[in-house]
Structure 1
Amino acid sequence: MTVQANDYDSFGEAYAASNETNLANAYYERPAMLALAGDVTGRRILDAGCGAGPLLEALRDRGADVAGFDLSGGMLELARRRLGPDVELRKADLADPLPYADAEFDDVVASLVLHYLEDWGPALAELRRVLRTGGRLIASVNHPTAEYGIERLAGRRPDYFSTWNSIGEWTENGQTIRLSLWNRPLHAMTDAFTAAGFRISVISEPQPAPEARELFPEEFDLLSTAPSFLFFVLHAE
């Protein structure tokens, strides 16, 4: 069965289950985000697009005071089951004004969420607004060369320097999941960050966790030589 693109209410259970143990999320993206966050003890952190809550849980377990939002009610229900009633979770759209006060957070984490948006400007302005001055936005996005390379190998020739849409599919437990993503060049990302009032501190292309080599030998070799994601640490000015 194929569902509507980005309809996480329909495929949330399958996506969340895969996210728990797969190479890309469990042994690459999430460890990289936590490494970039460092010591979060006592920090007030917002997870923008928290999904089923695995990153929120990890940050909470490391001593952070966490809150999160997501557009998908189904994913939020999974997060509530994981995190219990004490963690503040809200339904909100990153493309709209956010239901938080100015300068409410020390950090915002945006894990593989910005690439769902064609226009980053309003979302980044809101993330800057809810951060205190000097606070951090820690973000991961699809690497600008990853989807471009796939398209080129398939005989399509998108303009790397444009912002362009791609729709991909993957199948989990007999359910085909469609994801519509917006790709943009690196300079468009960095320009958007600085225009929103952020100073770029780190641009990272990390390796997968070493223990994944034995668990995923073929995939590990591919991922360790051709990155899928790009990571940023940005400070609110």
Structure 2
Amino acid sequence: MPNDYDSFAEAYSAENEASLVNAYYERPAILDLAGDVAGRRILDAGCGSGPLSAALRDRGAIVTGFDSSAKMLELARQRLGDGAALHLADLGSPLPFSDAAFDDVVASLVLHYLEDWTALLAELRRVLMPGGRLVVSVNHPFVDYLQAGPGAGYFVTGTYSEEWTLGGHSALMSFWRRPLHAMTDAFTAAGFRIAVISEPSPAPGARELFPEIFAGKPSGAFLCFLFFVLQAD
């Protein structure tokens, strides 16, 4: 079954802890965009095993998280203890939270699992306070286009699959790719104003820890994910 995180939760969580793209690129970028979160009520949408929730909590946020994988939530509870309220819930389904319950929502590498963002964005907009922020990371559309191969077409919204092997376990992962304008159109249709679009550099220290990857990248920058800060108007 594609995207069955229950089947490799521990292996994925272990890889996520110290990998270049997660620990030294994606999470630091999300935290930088979130800024000062002390005292803010934050929903971690698709929280996985909780590394981002833990970082937000350590910065003083009041964190709630949800994920569709029971195994990943079990790992998150081990990590966070009583430090966050965690819920089993599906992306794109009605969420178990009241209207305007959160100051911010972070959606870290989850939207690209869905073909249609309409229901999820409507729910995230609903649970945000007026003026609240949605901080999003997704697979970069140009990287998706390059990986899709000849004839795929940048402007096509379509699905593709990859086999991941982590800790000796192989899993089939399926994603939806779409052009940038389809992303921004979905955000604005859901009632969000686009405040930031970011293509960040890795965190300090990444080059020293992964010299073989940066050998051909004198600037230290690379394309991997695309980041947004969206304001709930």
State the secondary structure of the residue aligned to 1:135. Answer: strand
Unaligned runs of 5+ in 2: none
Aligned partner of 1:80 among 77, 81, 87:
77
Distance 1:125 1:205 in 2: 25
1:71 aligns with 2:68: yes
Using structure 1 for the length normalisation, give the TM-score: 0.94
RMSD: 1.2
Using structure 2 for the length normalisation, give the TM-score: 0.96
Distance 1:82 1:151 in 2: 36
Q: Is the CA contact (8 Å cut-off) linking 2:57 and 2:83 kept in structure 1?
A: no
1:233 aligns with 2:197: no
| Equivalent in the alignment of 2:147 | 150
| Equivalent in the alignment of 2:164 | 170
1:93 aligns with 2:87: no
How much identity, in percent, do the aligned residues show?
A: 66
Q: Is the CA contact (8 Å cut-off) linking 2:143 and 2:223 kept in structure 1?
A: yes
Q: Which amino acid aligns with 2:206?
A: A
| Equivalent in the alignment of 2:190 | 196
Q: Is the CA contact (8 Å cut-off) linking 1:208 and 1:220 kept in structure 2?
A: no
Aligned partner of 1:185 among 161, 169, 179:
179
Give runs of aligned pairs for residues 29-40 of structure 1, distance below 5 A: 29-40=26-37
**Number of residues paired by the alignment?**
231
Unaligned runs of 5+ in 1: none
Give runs of aligned pairs for residues 199-218 of structure 1, distance below 5 A: 199-218=193-212
Runs of 4 or more above 4 Å deviation: 221-225
Q: Which amino acid aligns with 1:231?
A: F
| Equivalent in the alignment of 2:105 | 108
Distance 2:173 2:167 in 1: 17
Q: Which amino acid aligns with 2:59?
A: R
Inter-CA distance 133–222: structure 2 relative to 1 (3 Å threshold) = farther
